[in-house]
């Protein structure tokens, strides 16, 4: 499956009015980008999650012609384009005068009304009637799957995705978006907040449509915030999603690179027994990440230690699956909580610390490191499609930093990666490898 060898790069606050961004991406060596939601937002929400009209492109993308020109230009440069897709919710135009609202209530549902303060503003068709929205109030216990599916995100209206008509509406909407933009895949936002029955209808509906557009490898990866492989794997079983954001691995990455945990934790999610939790077509194209727009940036969490960040990035780019880089990481952006982790790349309105000014610096050591990792992935086939073998890990009963050595192999070649998570030189000998040494590259 060709996306397995790609590298994803998330785009949010970038100025597409010039060619700077595309040149930056080419120089960095990425092969795919993820755009924030592109549908029209009621109040012009910069992040794109407050949709008001799913059938229009938001003006901040320049409209459909400019968005299509962007995607065509990316394709001309050998870069695939993904779009963040939302079905769970839209902008906040509905509330209730019932007592208790907006506290979560399973039954009976609250009586809906258009919020008095929005005046004549309404959701656009096909979501312009109350019957297409849940009215249970806000989620209060986010670990309760019932509330996660039926409750509102605070400040957003929850769409009644259990309705057959709503499911067909979204199939129509997103088929049309693929046809209009020629995008190559979707990130399915808040997938765990939508009942599985929706995905069992929607995903085959999209798949049957994409083949008509000549897209036989259309990738849809789920943002389902599940911390274990069995829980996340369900989203790929039974021909559901063909990929998912790898939250279980992220937990181990944090333990090792942020908290100096035992390095052997990195191998747990690579074991064949863990991989069988995922459908065969998904298990080797999960999406691995250090940070994203919903989490504090790694540079900030690591107290601006560039060597430590390089170490984590090296693991991200050399382990199994698809490495996913949040924009600005290659420039040392360090914002912590939302919205501080959503700095702009250009000399604009939301910037501080390392994000001040124009941030397309090809000489930044982090940029150089990520470029080197991308070039290594392009040059070394085992890093894209090879198997995974742990060669050495440090373990002790109380935890602690140490060495981690693993191989990526195919029938002809082996790449050995050695990581040292301590602050001192470490030596190890007699690590078995499958091939005679023919060369060494240092990153």
DSSP track, 92-125: S-EE--STTTTS---SSPPPPEE-GGGTT--PPT
Give dist(CA 429, CA 337) in Å, integer. 43
| Residue 256 near residue 249, CB atoms below 8 Å | no
State yes or no: pLDDT of 257 exceeds 90.
yes
Confidence of residue 206 (pLDDT cuts 50, 70, 90): very high
The two tokens of residue 282 are 């998904």
pLDDT of the residue at 3: 32
Instruction: Enumerate long-range contacts of 18-22, CB under 8 Å, 24 or more apart.
Output: 20/346, 20/360, 21/345, 21/360, 22/73, 22/74, 22/77, 22/79
pTM: 0.92
Question: Considering only 228-232, 269-273, 305-309, 397-401, which range has the smallest mean pLDDT?
Answer: 397-401
Answer whether residue 439 shows pLDDT above 80. Answer: no
Reported as type and span, the H/E element at residue 322 is strand 322-326
Residue 81: is its pLDDT beyond 90? Answer: yes
Average pLDDT over residues 207-225: 88
Percent of the chain with pLDDT over 90: 78
Model pLDDT for residues 23-79, shown as the tens digit of each residue:
788 999 999 999 999 999 998 877 889 999 999 999 988 899 999 999 999 999 999
pLDDT in tens, 310-346: 999 999 999 999 999 999 999 999 999 888 999 998 8
What's the pLDDT score for residue 1?
Answer: 24
- Residue 429 — very low, low, confident or very high, per pLDDT cuts 50/70/90? confident
Mean pLDDT computed over 247-255: 97
Structure tokens at 210: 């994409």
Distance, in Å, from the CA atom of 264 to the CA atom of 394, rounded to the nearest integer, reads 6
> pLDDT: is 110 or 432 the higher one?
110
pLDDT over 50 at 214, yes or no: yes
Comparing 52-66, 220-234, 428-442, the range with the smallest average pLDDT is 428-442
Q: Please, where are the H alpha helices in 98-241?
A: 145-150, 164-181, 196-210, 229-233
Please say if the pLDDT value at position 16 is more than 60: no
pLDDT at 440: 52
Over 70: is that where the pLDDT of 189 sits? yes
Per-residue confidence (pLDDT) for residue 4, from 0 to 100? 33
Q: What is the pLDDT of residue 17?
A: 43
User: % helix / strand / coil in the chain, to the nearest 5?
Assistant: 35, 15, 50
Binned at pLDDT 50, 70 and 90, residue 436 comes out as low
Both tokens of 29, joined, read 């060596």
**Contact 95/103 with Cβ under 8 angstroms?**
no
- pLDDT reported for residue 399: 64
Q: Give the pLDDT of residue 394.
A: 82
**Span 249-260, mean pLDDT?**
95
pLDDT of 409 strictly over 90? yes
Q: Give the pLDDT of residue 216.
A: 83
For residue 342, what are its two tokens? 């959503």
User: Which run of H or E residues covers position 205?
Assistant: helix 196-210
Chain mean position to CA 110: 34
Mean pLDDT of 163-190: 97
The pLDDT, as a whole number, for residue 2 is: 29
Confidence of residue 84 (pLDDT cuts 50, 70, 90): very high
Other CB atoms within 10 Å distance of the CB of residue 43: 12
pLDDT at site 396: 60
pLDDT at 21 over 80: no
Q: How far apart are CA 379 and CA 262, in angstroms?
A: 31
Mean pLDDT for the chain overall: 91
């Amino acid at each position: 499956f060709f996306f397995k060898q790609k590298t994803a790069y998330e785009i949010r606050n970038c100025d597409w009015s010039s060619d700077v961004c595309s040149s930056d991406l080419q120089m960095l060596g990425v092969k795919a980008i993820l755009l924030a939601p592109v549908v029209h937002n009621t109040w012009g929400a910069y992040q794109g999650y407050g949709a008001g009209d799913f059938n229009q492109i938001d003006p901040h993308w320049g409209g459909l012609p400019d968005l299509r020109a962007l995607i065509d230009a990316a394709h001309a440069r050998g870069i695939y384009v993904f779009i963040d897709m939302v079905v769970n919710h839209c902008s906040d135009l509905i509330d209730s005068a019932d007592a208790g609202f907006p506290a979560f209530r399973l039954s009976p549902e609250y009586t809906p009304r258009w919020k008095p303060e929005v005046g004549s503003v309404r959701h656009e068709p096909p979501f312009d009637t109350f019957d297409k929205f849940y009215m249970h109030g806000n989620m209060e216990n986010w670990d309760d799957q019932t509330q996660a599916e039926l409750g509102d995100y605070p400040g957003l209206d929850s769409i009644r995705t259990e309705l057959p008509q709503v499911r067909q509406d979204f199939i129509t909407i997103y088929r049309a978006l693929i046809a209009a933009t020629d995008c190559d895949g979707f990130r399915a936002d808040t997938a765990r907040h939508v009942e599985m029955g929706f995905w069992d209808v929607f995903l085959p509906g999209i798949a049957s449509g994409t083949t008509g557009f000549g897209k036989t490898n259309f990738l849809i990866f789920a943002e389902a915030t599940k911390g274990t492989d069995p829980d996340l794997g369900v989203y790929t079983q039974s021909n559901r999603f063909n990929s998912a954001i790898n939250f279980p691995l992220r937990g181990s990455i944090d333990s090792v690179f942020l908290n100096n945990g035992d390095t052997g934790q990195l191998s747990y999610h690579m074991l064949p027994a863990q991989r069988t939790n995922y459908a065969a077509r998904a298990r080797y194209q999960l999406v691995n990440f250090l940070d994203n727009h919903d989490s504090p940036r790694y540079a900030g969490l690591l107290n601006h230690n560039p060597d430590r960040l390089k170490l984590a990035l090296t693991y991200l780019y050399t382990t199994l699956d698809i490495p996913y880089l949040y924009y600005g990481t290659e420039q040392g952006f360090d914002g912590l909580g939302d919205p501080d982790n959503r700095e702009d790349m250009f000399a604009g309105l939301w910037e501080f610390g390392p994000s001040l000014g124009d941030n397309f610096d090809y000489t930044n050591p982090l940029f150089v490191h990520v470029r080197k990792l991308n070039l290594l992935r392009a040059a070394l086939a085992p890093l894209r499609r090879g198997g995974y073998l742990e060669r050495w890990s440090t373990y002790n009963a109380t935890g602690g930093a140490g060495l981690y050595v693993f191989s990526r192999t195919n029938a002809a070649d082996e790449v050995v990666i050695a990581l040292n998570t301590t602050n001192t030189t470490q030596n190890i000998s007699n690590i078995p490898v499958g091939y005679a040494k023919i060369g060494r590259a240092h990153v």
